[in-house]
Structure 1
Amino acid sequence: MRVIITDSYEQMGFEAAKLVAGQIYLKPNSVLGLTTGSTPLAMYERLLALHKTDGLDFSEVTTFNLDEYIGLSAYNPHSYYYYMQENFFKHININQENIYIPNGMTNDVTAEGIHYEQLIASKGGIDLQVLGIGQNAHIGFNEPDVRFVADTHMVELNEETILANSRFFNNIDEVPRCAISMGIKTIMMANRILLLANGRNKAKAIYKALCGDITPQAPASILQLHRDVVVIIDKEAAEFLS
């Protein structure tokens, strides 16, 4: 595991974008696992700049997003499909047919999960998986639990996650209570993983992920077992690291 501590959120995004861009330069038809939220926005902004100024080419890239809220259509402004289109996809030369995000409007979550796993396998697996981390050390929407759930599945969001995500909604009552998320095995099968975090509110989660016991009570701790993880965090998120 390689840990990079940056001086600022903007530098975190810059370093993360360099790693993602390097993956694409080395393998133009890379399969990327992507995440949403406030943390990766600086990375996406830098990747957009590299596309516009340096010609970073996404035409052969395939993407799989970690998760999606259940009950939100793709065109709901709070959906992760909408987030990805507005903040990234519509500004680059990616083939829209190569974008995969779980269907939050499915009538059969189990079938959707199986289908999503089959799609990932059909593309040869994920080359580079980008992750954020929740304050309770969740990755994707894999909440603290008594076991690690392997494959893409339905998750009931806990109150801490709902409260944290309410900042993106008009009020907490609008936050969906369930989501579809890649499972821990799906994440761990990626060839390489990039974990991002910023802010003092993520410091305890980062400590648990990097230095704590490997336990489903801190889902990100499983990353200690992966063969190739790069962690890029700002100074505040690194508060409890030696």
Structure 2
Amino acid sequence: MRILVCKNYEEMSKKAAQMILSQVTLKPNSVLGLATGSTPMGMYKELVSMYKNKVIDFSEVTTFNLDEYYQLPITNDQSYHYFMHENLFNHINVKKENIHVPNGMVKDIEAECSRYDNFIKESGGIDIQVLGIGHNAHIGFNEPTINFERGTHLVDLKESTIEANARFFDKIEDVPRKAITMGTGSIFKARKIMLLACGEGKAEAIYNTVYGKVIPEVPASILQFHNDIVLILDEEAASKLNPEDYKIV
């Protein structure tokens, strides 16, 4: 596990975008696993700027998103489908047919989850998976539980996650209680994983991810076993780590 610590959120976002740039430059038809939420927004802004400056080309790239709310229409401005288009896809030259987000509106959720996992496999697997991390160390919407989920599945969101996401909705009652998410097993299959975290509120989750026991009650702890993972943090998120364990960039 490599840990890179940047001075602030802006520098963290730039570093993350540079890693995506390197991946796509080396392999133009890369398969990118993407995340939503406030943490990767700065990275997406940097990638859009790179595209506008003709530094990066997404024309051969395929994307798979980690998750989507259950029973929230894609036209809703809080759906992750909407988020990704507003913050990235509408501003770059990725092909519409190469964009994949779980469908939270289907009746047969099990079939959708199976379809999604099979589609990732048929696409050759994810080259680099971008992750954020929740205050309770969830990755994707894999909440603390009694076991690690292998594949994409429907999950009940914890109250802490609902409360954290309530800031994006008019009122907490509007926040969906369920979501479709790639499982920790699906995430673990990515050839490279890049986890982003910023702010003092994520410091405990990062500490437990790096030093804690590998247990499903701390979903991100499973990443200790991945053979190619980098954590890109700002100083606040790294504040509980031992300085000898990370590199300042």
Please report the TM-score for the alignment, with normalisation by the length of structure 1. 0.99
* Structural mapping, 1:66-105, within 5 Å: 66-105=66-105
1:16 alignment partner in structure 2? 16
Give me the whole-angstrom Cα distance separating, in 2, the residues matched to 1:16 and 1:52: 18
Partner deviation per Cα, 1:60-101 (whole Å, 9 max, x = no partner):
000000000001111110100000000000000000100000
1:231 alignment partner in structure 2? 231
SS at match of 1:195: strand
1:56 alignment partner in structure 2? 56
Partner deviation per Cα, 1:83-129 (whole Å, 9 max, x = no partner):
00000000000001000000010101111100001100110100000
SS at match of 2:5: strand
Structure 1 letter corresponding to 2:139? I
SS at match of 1:54: coil
Structure 2 letter corresponding to 1:81? H
Partner deviation per Cα, 1:15-51 (whole Å, 9 max, x = no partner):
0000011000000000000000000011001111111
1:218 alignment partner in structure 2? 218
Give me the whole-angstrom Cα distance separating, in 2, the residues matched to 1:135 and 1:219: 11
What's the Cα RMSD here? 0.5
SS at match of 2:125: coil
Which runs of no fewer than 5 residues in structure 1 stay unpaired?
none
2:138 alignment partner in structure 1? 138
Q: Identity percentage over the alignment?
A: 55
Query: Could you list the runs of 4 or more consecutive aligned residues of structure 1 that deviate by over 3 angstroms after TM superposition?
Result: none
Give me the whole-angstrom Cα distance separating, in 2, the residues matched to 1:55 and 1:145: 42
Give me the whole-angstrom Cα distance separating, in 2, the residues matched to 1:81 and 1:207: 31
Would you say 1:45 and 2:42 are equivalent positions? no
Tell me the number of residue pairs that the alignment of Structure 1 and Structure 2 aligns: 242
Give me the whole-angstrom Cα distance separating, in 1, the residues matched to 2:8 and 2:239: 13
1:111 alignment partner in structure 2? 111
Give me the whole-angstrom Cα distance separating, in 2, the residues matched to 1:76 and 1:103: 13
Give me the whole-angstrom Cα distance separating, in 1, the residues matched to 2:54 and 2:61: 17
Would you say 1:206 and 2:206 are equivalent positions? yes
1:184 alignment partner in structure 2? 184
**Offset, 1:55:** 3.3
**Offset, 1:135:** 0.2
Structure 2 letter corresponding to 1:142? N
Structure 2 letter corresponding to 1:8? N
Please report the TM-score for the alignment, with normalisation by the length of structure 2. 0.96
Which runs of no fewer than 5 residues in structure 2 stay unpaired?
243-249
